[in-house]
Amino acid sequence: MEPSISTTSSLGVEISRLPKPGRERDACVRISPEGFFIRHPPAPHQLDDFTTSDDKLFQTIHMGAAVVDTENWLLVVDGMVQNPFALTMEQLLKLPRTTVTAFHECYGSPLKPPIDSVWRIGNVHWTGVRLADILAIAKPHPEAEYVWSEGLDYGTFAGVTADRYQKDLPMQKALGSEVLLAFEMNGHRLSKERGGPVRLVVPGWFGTNMTKWICRLSLQDKRAPGPYTTVFYNEIDPTDPSGSRKRPVWSVEVNSIITSPAPDTVVSASEVVIEGWAWCHEPV
């Protein structure tokens, strides 16, 4: 049965040889539902729990949700590496796992970059395998500067058709101990809507960088060419005096919400306790 077992990784887990090109995409049974979908979270004052439950966490899907055959799923790791390989779901689950608690935030519309906060935010527990462990098995070449990630979803968003969702991470970020290939959220296996069976998780960065239904990692010396890096999710660099240079939507700057008192609450006390949350890509 393809792919056949070829070797044992440095982590002591069997890995598979590379399949024929494109084989990893066979795991996508269909796209359902098709097209763009968004589920907004509750108002900020309702996000008063440290852990955001699934029903309170926003959802953003660009081209439709991939229905994935988990038994047929593969993660291909290739590109500028010494040891290209593939992993089945069974093999991935045998690798050392870790749990990371991190905020999860939507950037907002890539068609009209937001000026104000859109308040699509939550805080969840992700469980999975460190991306750094996967890259250690692959042994990147020195010239590899980016990790491209590809999802099984495809379709059309805002008039732009793509045969896959593709993003990239600079190598320095990809090697961070917090970056995961996650298969659980809040202790439960990832649902289809959450990008299951496996998605990329990049704590401190906007959700657009966290490729859902992931099937391939490719190490390259340049940025990924797909529309979700070249057309969408770029913003004016505030450090550019001319106001013309753009930068990718990556890290989240400091932000906050007030959870109590709720909006329009009348307070008469001389002292009022104000509660809320603050977050950023680095400690604040």
pLDDT tens-place string over residues 16-44: 999 999 999 999 999 999 999 999 988 88
pLDDT tens-place string over residues 145-184: 999 999 999 999 999 999 999 999 999 999 999 999 999 9
pLDDT tens-place string over residues 68-112: 999 999 999 999 999 999 999 999 999 999 999 999 999 988 887
Is pLDDT above 60 for 117? yes
Contact 177, 121 (CB under 8 A): no
Predicted pLDDT at 104: 96
Q: Cα–Cα distance between 203 and 103 in angstroms, integer?
A: 7
pLDDT tens-place string over residues 215-254: 999 999 999 999 999 999 998 888 888 877 889 999 999 9
Predicted pLDDT at 193: 97
Predicted pLDDT at 262: 85
Predicted pLDDT at 108: 87
Domains of the chain (ranges, CATH numbers): 5-106+115-253 (3.90.420.10)
Q: Which residue has the higher pLDDT, 214 or 113?
A: 214
Question: Which band of pLDDT confidence, cut at 50, 70 and 90, is reported for residue 1?
Answer: very low
Q: Cα–Cα distance between 252 and 104 in angstroms, integer?
A: 10
Predicted pLDDT at 84: 98
DSSP code string of the chain: -PSPEEEE-TTS-EEE---STTGGGGGEEEEEEES-EEEPPPPGGG--SSSPPGGGS-EEESSEEEEE-GGG-EEEEEESBSS-EEEEHHHHHTS--EEEEEEEE----SSS--SS----EEEEEEEEEEHHHHHHHH-B-TT--EEEEEES--EEETTEEESS-EEEEEHHHHTSTT-EEEEEETTEEPPTTTT-S-EEE-TTB-GGGS-SSEEEEEEESS---SHHHHTSSEEE-TT-TTS--EEES-BPPPEEEEEESPTT----SSS---EEEEE-SS--
Predicted pLDDT at 130: 99
